[in-house]
Amino acid sequence: MAQMTMIQAITDALRTELKNDENVLVFGEDVGQNGGVFRATEGLQAEFGEDRVFDTPLAESGIAAMALGLALEGYRPVPEIQFFGFVYEAMDAISGQIARIRYRSGGTQSAPITIRSPFGGGVHTPELHADSLEGLVAQQPGLKVVIPSTPYDAKGLLISSLRDNDPVVFLEHMKLYRSFREEVPEEEYTVEIGKAEVRREGTDVTLIAYGAMVHSSLKAAEELEKEGISAEVIDLRTVMPIDIDTIVESVKKTGRVVVIQEAQKQAGMASYIVTEIQERAILHLEAPVLRVAAPDTVYAFTQAEEVWLPGYNDIIEKAKQVINF
Amino acid sequence: MKRTLENIENQFETFQILNEEGEVVNEAAMPELSDDELKELMHRMVFTRILDQRYMALTRQGRLGFYAPTAGQEASQLGTQYALEKEDWILPGYRDVPQLIWQGLPLYKAFLFSRGHYEGNQMPEGMNALSPQIIIGAQYTQAAGVAIGLKKRGKKSVAITYTGDGGTSQGDFYEGINFAGAYNAPAIFVVQNNRFAISVPVEKQTAARTLAQKAVAAGIEGIQVDGMDVLAVYAATKQARERAVNGEGPTLIETLTYRYGPHTTAGDDPTRYRTDDLDNEWEKKDPLVRFRKFLEAKGLWSEEEENKVIEDAKEQVKAAIKEADNTPKQKVTDLMENMYEKMPAHLEEQYAEYKEKESK
């Protein structure tokens, strides 16, 4: 076991799979010699060579489409989109092409591609770096969308993503890259895609979150505990497909739910989750399911992040609302 | 040399071997083709012209669905495909069904593609091709990726892809040729310039006087070819293929061609934007007419042979339509089965619902 940050766990997962499978290719803008703008691919080109880990021209559409072309030749591409705000440039390649290839070829072709990309607020990035756009890709049949919140999960989920024979969008929250260390096994292991994790058990209210909001939810749960409210915190880990069984089981226990996301209220995954809960567990609900989300504006100018991003106080407030409904 | 637009454009003069009268005007560039191969090329062009006519008729009868007419582009489409090897990859646009057919896609599958049935998109085992791409430009960036893959594998084969004149305005067009150039990948990019993107003439796409010169922006070879001259198209593609497999990188080939029919059979009326004069001018350039003259002068082609091809084409179309008719209808559960290797829970749930509906 080693103490790792999330970024180190990600590098470790990439190294593991580059070693395990010669078809794994890591490429993108500055991921080669430079080791990535966040050092996620540091040392990988030196260890595995330019044929396996390489830089690309600056063009997201070309990068994602190249991944599909390489997949057709039997490779397992792991392209990087430098910041997920740039995904608009690659939307056709990802949602219009990669996601559809197995279906459109009648099951004869496939795209074992993992698209890695950082996103997320709270680190004062310039425009279109921090936007939460997981909702866009989660709406595309054919894609899986994974968002880890811990170093342990990041490694296990990334290895699973690389081994999946269908495309996975793997979103890495920038604020979580180096915010804490955790014990991460040095050997290889996997975390199943599509399975949530109960991070904290509770009996009064269920807090469902993903990404950085998992940690805000855990902090909110601690504060709520001081007031005698027992909150259960579910970390979705995969936002498409959603682990509906774990959610429903928790709802049946607590009867009260808040769904928490960093994305704007009209975006993200919260509405989808609320709908699933009301379809499957309405008779177990003591109160409406409420959402914590960012305001429906364009992502905040840097200096407005603090007042704009959802925080643990917002979670506490909504939790109390459903408790006192 | 002074760098002027004219100097650049002068480097992209139209490459031609046969003139409109079927006379060889560039003996030095004549590709090495046996008499049988020459006849096979003619066979394919005639067959494909008849196929186009049958497609149009069957579409009118409602027996086919989406179709983008190909008449006029036989030299451009089949001349390029004839220069390929079996292991080469084809990434076609939506008008490029003939190339797939001659590379090995059974005719009934082409018809199923037209109707909208997944079996039409299942390429036969060992055939390296994607089904026709609807998103204009996407096939270009993907072809760059395939070609980079071929290079990494050390294979002596190429990826060929096709777009039209309008498609050269897309970002993916440029990114595709630029990526292939940056990785020195074995790709052949074909631009079939039939002068119109639906109703928009090529002059409204760009101020560039040739489309071939767009290769300069990627730092790769570009060539403009008489796209109504099957020998010139074949020779240019053959050369591009040789360069590619020898590690000399990609080529952009512009074929100057024309579609005699509408953009698609989905209600487009070319009389709204094309003059009779222009149609007549291009009909004189018909690739079949000039190649027929060339072969007849060599004693390699007769009306009898042509009629045999025509009859054969009609028979094959009839049989293929029948086979398409006999293909089982698609069920929602079929579509679900082709989504993922392992169905996620939410889809599994829907699968059970539809399985039950289908059993009733």
Q: Does B177 touch chain A (CB under 8 A)?
A: no
Mutate to test the interface with B, among A48, A51, A72, A269 (most CBs of B within 10 A): A72
The nearest CA of chain B is from the CA of A53 a distance in Å of: 12
The reply to whether residue A73 touches residue B152, judged by beta carbons under 8 angstroms, is: yes
Kindly tell me the sign of the dihedral angle through the C-alpha atoms of A299, A303, A308, A314: positive
**CB-based contacts of A11, cutoff 8 Å, min separation 6:** A39, A40, A41, A42, A43, A44
Cα(B202)–Cα(A64) distance, rounded to whole angstroms? Answer: 29
What is the predicted pLDDT for the residue at B208? 96
Asked whether this complex has an ipTM greater than 0.95, the answer is: yes
Cα(A115)–Cα(B116) distance, rounded to whole angstroms? Answer: 30
pTM attached to this predicted model: 0.97
Q: Does B88 touch chain A (CB under 8 A)?
A: no
In degrees rounded to 5, what are phi and psi of residue A153? -65, -40
pLDDT in tens, B258-301: 999 999 998 888 999 999 999 999 999 999 999 999 999 999 99
What is the predicted pLDDT for the residue at B267? 87
Which residues from A are below 8 Å from B66, CB to CB?
none
pLDDT in tens, B56-65: 999 999 999 9
Question: Which residues of B are identified as catalytic?
Answer: 259, 263, 273
Regions of chain A where pLDDT drops below 70: none
What is the predicted pLDDT for the residue at A127? 97
Angle at the Cα of B80 from the Cα atoms of B117 and B262, rounded to 5 degrees: 55
The nearest CA of chain B is from the CA of A240 a distance in Å of: 9
SS3 assignment for chain A: CEEECHHHHHHHHHHHHHHHCCCEEEEECCCCCCCCCCCCCCCHHHHHCCCCEEECCCCHHHHHHHHHHHHHCCCEEEEECCCHHHHHHHHHHHHHHHHHHHHHCCCCCCCCCEEEEEECCCCCCCCCCCCCCHHHHHCCCCCEEECCCCHHHHHHHHHHHHHCCCCEEEEEEHHHCCCCCEEECCCCCCCCCCCCEEEECCCCEEEEECCCHHHHHHHHHHHHHHCCCCEEEEECCEEECCCHHHHHHHHHHHCCEEEEEEEECCCCCHHHHHHHHHHHHHHHCCCCCEEEEECCCCCCCHHHHHHHCCCHHHHHHHHHHHHCC
The reply to whether residue B338 touches residue A109, judged by beta carbons under 8 angstroms, is: no
What is the predicted pLDDT for the residue at B3? 74
The reply to whether residue B149 touches residue A108, judged by beta carbons under 8 angstroms, is: no
Nearest chain A residue (CA) to B154 = A73
To the nearest 10 degrees (0 to 180), the angle between helices A60-72 and B171-182 is 60
Counting beta carbons within 10 angstroms of the beta carbon of residue B224, is it exposed (0 to 12), middle (13 to 18) or buried (19 or more)?
buried
Return the residue matching tokens 């049935």.
B117
Instruction: Give yes or no for residue B338 having a pLDDT over 90.
Output: yes
Residue percentage of chain B with pLDDT more than 90: 95
Whether residue B262 contacts residue B71, with contact meaning beta carbons closer than 8 Å, is answered with no
Structure-model confidence comparison of residues B31 and B7, the more confident one: B31
pLDDT in tens, B147-197: 999 999 999 999 999 999 999 999 999 999 999 999 999 999 999 999 999
Instruction: Give yes or no for residue B1 having a pLDDT over 70.
Output: no
Q: Kindly state the DSSP code that residue B93 receives in the 8-state scheme.
A: B
Q: Bridge partners of B74? A: none
